[in-house]
Amino acid sequence: MLRIIPFLFLVLCVRLLVPAAGLECFWHFAHRGERFYLSFMVQWVTGVGHDRHLSVTVNAPSSLIMATVDDAKGQINFETEETGFYQMCFSNFHNRFGTMQVKDLNNTLSVIEGATHKVENHVFHMFRYYNFGRMRKSADFFLLLSNSQYVTWWSLFLSLLIVTSGYLQLLFLKRLFIRKRGTEEEKPRC
């Protein structure tokens, strides 16, 4: 029998400020058999110590410790064994004299949003480029139609001019060779 296990994707991008020797806890509800993901990173540290280590623990609803990480950045990933509220605690006990800003890196949604905006931007510019190309092509087509009419009328005019000038040349040449019959006195003399 094949059983499909649903995955839990808690998508949060949370920045929290953990005071010196402080503890910040959050709870998230999960069903049995789901995957629990938590990733974190220390952004900056103030104060005297400047120790970037952060102690992160995840407790099950029955108060059992499911996972612990003691580092400046880390990831916790496990399959939940019981249904209930899981506790995520961020402890700054390494840094007794300074505060620490932590960014919860469950930012899958923000990464997807960023990629989606980038794709939308590229698609927008692609459509703009293609529309510009289409407009340029249609402008060229109308220019071609306009030029076609211009060329047609100009060719017709020049054809009529050539035929008319040929007719006039023929008429003048014919007049040169026409002899008038007349008396001897009317003939031209050299």
Could you tell me if residue 163 is inside a domain? yes
User: pTM score, two decimals?
Assistant: 0.46
Residues 158 and 83 in one domain: no
Could you tell me if residue 28 is inside a domain? yes
Domain region containing 27: 14-106
> According to the model, what pLDDT value does residue 4 have?
30
Could you tell me if residue 140 is inside a domain? yes
Residues 95 and 18 in one domain: yes
CA-CA distance, 71 to 100, in Å (whole number)? Answer: 13
pLDDT band of residue 162 (cuts 50, 70, 90) is very high
Mean pLDDT across 79-108: 75
pLDDT digits (tens, 9 = 90+) for 114-133: 888 899 989 888 888 888 77
Residues 69 and 42 in one domain: yes
The count of structural domains within the chain is 2
What's the mean pLDDT when you consider all of the chain? 79
Residues 22 and 68 in one domain: yes
Could you tell me if residue 82 is inside a domain? yes
> Three-state secondary structure along the chain?
CCCCCCCCCCCCCEEEEECCCCEEEEEEEECCCCEEEEEEEEEEECCCCCCCCEEEEEECCCCCEEEEEEECEEEEEEECCCCEEEEEEEECCCCCCCCEEEEECCCHHHHHHHHHHHHHHHHHHHHHHHHHHHHHHHHHHHHHHHHHHHHHHHHHHHHHHHHHHHHHHHHHHHHHHCCCCCCCCCCCCC
Considering 75, 106, 137, which residue would you say is the last residue of a domain? 106
Q: Which residue has the higher pLDDT, 94 or 160?
A: 160
pLDDT digits (tens, 9 = 90+) for 39-50: 888 877 776 566
> According to the model, what pLDDT value does residue 140 have?
80
Residues 34 and 102 in one domain: yes
Nearest to 23 by CA among 104, 95, 125: 95
Tokens 């020049």, located at residue: 158
Could you tell me if residue 4 is inside a domain? no
Considering 51, 80, 106, which residue would you say is the last residue of a domain? 106
